[in-house]
Amino acid sequence: MKLTVLALAALLFASAGAALADKGDAKVDNALAFKMKDIDGKDVDLAQYKGKVVLFVNVASKCGYTPQYEGLEKLYEKYKAQGFVIIGVPANNFGGQEPGSDADIKQFCSSKYSVTFPMLSKVSVKGDDITPLYKYLTTHAKTTGDVKWNFEKFLVNKQGEIVGRYGSKVTPESKDLTGAIEAELAK
């Protein structure tokens, strides 16, 4: 009888733990363990990208680095069939360079740069209101610390582990970035 009560208690404790994990209270162990909103306001579970190599890029429409959208789209087109995805993350944290609404951002990206890679809803990538995804990225990358500017890039492997962090000046076409992407795709 005592063993049955203990077994029941253990089962209830495990169920409660699973319920907490569903609410996001569990320890996050990879960059694809987050739920976000896409540019259209729909729920996105980043876990759907497990098994792919992912490049997270905080983007802005009115930045000196904005022309990187063109290179990002070319990079996406070149490698997407091999299991690569870019996820654009609009943020207005730097000089007010992403002031528009999600609809404005989507229109800009599609009309000016023909962006087809997934875009998330605008969030904060630093400060007190940092989105949990970026809190994770900036504290678990080999080089930790706040995102410095628009178009910083985080490369994530097929298991959701951060394998590279690249500053804004690193272009999508750079050998450092493309070499790292190719290496991860080959694994």
CB 122, CB 94: distance < 8 Å: no
- Strands 43-45 and 153-156 come out as unpaired
Beta bridge partners of 45: 35
* CA pair distance 14, 20, nearest whole angstrom: 10
* CA pair distance 96, 94, nearest whole angstrom: 6
How far, rounded to the nearest angstrom, does the alpha carbon of residue 100 sit from its chain's CA centroid? 20
Owner of token pair 């997934």: 118
How many other CB atoms sit within 10 Å of the CB of residue 114? 11
Is residue 63 annotated as a catalytic residue, yes or no? yes
- Which of 28, 62, 63, 185 does the annotation list as catalytic? 63
Catalytic residues: 63
